[in-house]
Every structure is written in C-alpha cells, then in structure tokens.
Structure 1
Amino acid sequence: MPYAAKTEDVETLFPTEEYKIERIDISIDPFTGRNPSYCFVELASKEQAERAMTELDGKDLLGRPVKIRPGVAKSSNDRSLPRGESSPSAEKTTAPYAFDRWQRNDASNHWKGYSEQGRRLYVGGLPRPESQQVVDTEIRKFFDGFNVEAISKVISPHLSKRFEPGDHYYLFVDFASSDEAQTAINTLDGQVGPWGGKLKVSKAKGESVKVDERNKFNAPGESQRPSATREAAAAA
C-alpha cells in the first residue's frame, strides 16, 4: 500500500454492496504518520475473501496498484490479535509499548508539535537493533520512572556514518511534559544504555515531514503519482 493510506482508504477498495468488512488492522507510526505498506482485512466470509483476491488484486489505491493475498503474517508481531486482546505491540513484552500503533487512529496528527514544545528527545548511540520489540522494552527500562508517551522506530544512520567506529542508530522518545524531558536529559545524557555503550540524549530538532505527505498528495491540481521527493522519502 502507499505509506499514506489509512483505514478509510482501504475501505474504498471493497464495494459495500459486494463485500462486508468486519475488521481492518492497520499500523500507523505516530512519528511519521505512515503504515508499513500493508494491512489486514477481515471479511464476512471465506467466499468474499477468495473473491476479493481475484477481483480486487491490482486495484488502484492512492495511485498505486495493491496486492491482495491470504492474510498470513510474516511474524507474530505483524498481526493484531483477536478481539478483546492486546495488539501485537504489547504481545509477550515485560514493558508494553507506550503507543499502540495497531489500535490507535490518531497517530498521523496527534504527535505534531512535540519538538517545538520540548517534549521530544533524540536518543543516539544505539547499535543495529535486534527487533523493534526488544528496543521498545529496553528503552522503556532506560527511561524508567519517566512518563514516556511514545517511542519511535529505530532509524538507520546516514550512509556516511555507517562505517565509522561506534554505534550510530537512533530514535525519538516523547514525554508528557517539557520539564520531564529536560530532567531526562540532565539525568541520562551520556549514561550507559542497555547495550553497553553511552547514549546521547538531547532535544529533538524539527519534526518529520512525512506526516504531511497525505496533504500534499491530496493538494488541488497534484497528479495521482507521488512526486520524486516523496518517492525518495518512501524509499528511505
């Protein structure tokens, strides 16, 4: 799927007179407003699901042909759990995610302004991650005692940094207040992190422009095909 697609966009793929959608599971990152390029759709019957894979595969969604296949998760964390249970983000963790990407629908707009308010911190000096689940758990432990609202996905360093000595992966952490974020800096900047190296903790600068991609896509007179700038961003 296009990274900007949301639940309401997925719904348009399935004509209401032919298909009954029972559930759509889509993960949206609160720091970028993006989905991971896929989601899961539960239909009312196996017959509808089989027909959708035949009739709707390749259908246009925000300018891109989508693939519709059987809903087999690539890993246990790819799929939302049955109703009444927690989402995959909290599954089998000792410290659950601060932000449930699968269950909340405000990710694309709720987190703007955190950098300006001094509530978003940069955390650098991370090694190449084992998994996002492990990173979330360890970062929550590192900031134990602080009111953490969200932890971003781990971000790869620029190519120019990847072959330099040391660890250069990083992420962002959102706090409930600017005072708490500043206290975290004063307390934890330069301290040894969960992976043995010292972590850099500082105020984040600016915000991701990716949360605005949808508005650009829908701008009057703009073509259905994403611009080269957005394509480059999507590939990053």
Structure 2
Amino acid sequence: MKASSVPKKKPTAQIIASSLGFLTIILLWIIISALHQNDIIFPGIISTLKVFFSLFQRGSTYFILLNTIGGLILVLVLSFLTALILSLISLKFPTFKSYITPFLALFKIIPVPALLIVFLVNFKQSFIPFLLTYIVLLPLVYDGLYGAFISINKDLIDELKITSKLNLLMIFKIYIPIVSKQVISTLLQALGLGLKVKVMSEFIAEAPNTIGYELSYGRATLSMDIVFAWSLILIVIVVILDAVLVNYLGKQEA
C-alpha cells in the first residue's frame, strides 16, 4: 500500500490538549498575579502585554533582537561548520574520534557557571555569550551530524567512494541531503538550546544591547513587567522554532 493512500489521523485531540495546557498557564498567571496584586512582584497579563507591544515601538528593540538572535545564528553556523569538519574526519579516521571525544565530553559536563566565571575574568562582556554558546552547541551538533552520517547505508557510501572522491560539492550535494531530516532536526534543537544559553550568559555577563542585558536591567530597576515582556518575546521565538521543527518532521513523514 502506498504511503499516500494511508489516511492521516486528525490531530483534534492533540490540538484540544495543547489549547487546554495553554489556557491553564494563562489561568495560573491570572491567579498568581491576583494573589500578589503587585506588578513589581508579579505583573499581570494586561500590564505585561502593554510593555510587550510598546517594546516593538522602540527602534532599539530590533537592534537588541538582531544582536541576540543574529549572534545566535552566527554561532550556530560556526558550530555546524566545525562539527561538520570534525564528524567527517571522525568518519575517515576512527582514532581521531577517540581523540576528540574527551574534549567534547568535557564541554558537555563542565558546569556553565564555572565557565562563566573563567570567561568573565579573561574576556570582554560582549564576547562571552558567543564563546559560551559555541562551547555548549558544538557537542550537540557534532553528535547529531556524526550520528546522521553513520546511519547512511554503507553500500551507498562505498558506491559513492568508487564513483567520485569526497569533496565539498559531494558533501553538500549528496551526503547532507541524504540525512537532511536528522541535520535539520539537530540544528533546530541547537537553536532552542542556544537561545537559552546565550540569553542566560548575556544576563550574567551584562553584555550590552542584548535581551539578557534588558532582563538584567529590569531586575535591577524592579521593572518585572519588562522582564515578563522580554520573556514573552523569547517564548514566542521558541514556539516559532518548535513549530518549524514539527512542520518539517511532519512533511518528512508524509
């Protein structure tokens, strides 16, 4: 039976469950803000939305978003290129994979606060979020790419080796398209994790003109509505990225 002839299940139950979950969050927000009755401690939905929309009327908001999100994309590209090179070398030379495994394992297990302390002493504030995010994302992207490449049918790889030599054109025209589903999934996961790490490091390092700095400013001035508004912006960004991931995986499985 062809895949196209199999009837698709209607995601009605999932949509209802997600809607109920969203409404529950809104209800909890209303209850908690009503209990406190103090926007300094826990701002309500209306005051948060007012600040949320007012942020988009400021030209500096778009520069801040570009600085944080654009910087994240730059780090992700660098992580992808580095991980691609390392994974290809690891496929060619298994001993090289054994050599870099301790380094990647160290990047995974070393406490982020410890890295931040070291970086705060040795690097500029504006550079720290980029470096920390790169260190966190590199092992994730490497594992995703290496796992995707080794999942390619061995007979196909042997045939490709016979017909042509391994080069950049062959990598981007043949290898990556074969494992595009795993690669895109890995990159989108890295985007979500990278956004959290970058904003957190911006917050602690107080990197200027970033979302993390705006959160730090809101905390310092007891402007919790600003903190909540920027957090809402981050949630919207993460939801969009998650929707892209679900939509892409759905098309691949169709």
- TM-score bucket of the superposed structures, by smaller chain: under 0.3
Question: TM-score if structure 2 supplies the norm length?
Answer: 0.20
Question: TM-score if structure 1 supplies the norm length?
Answer: 0.21
Structure with higher RCO (Cα < 8 A, 6+ apart): 2
Choose between structure 1 and 2: higher strand proportion.
1
Choose between structure 1 and 2: higher helix proportion.
2
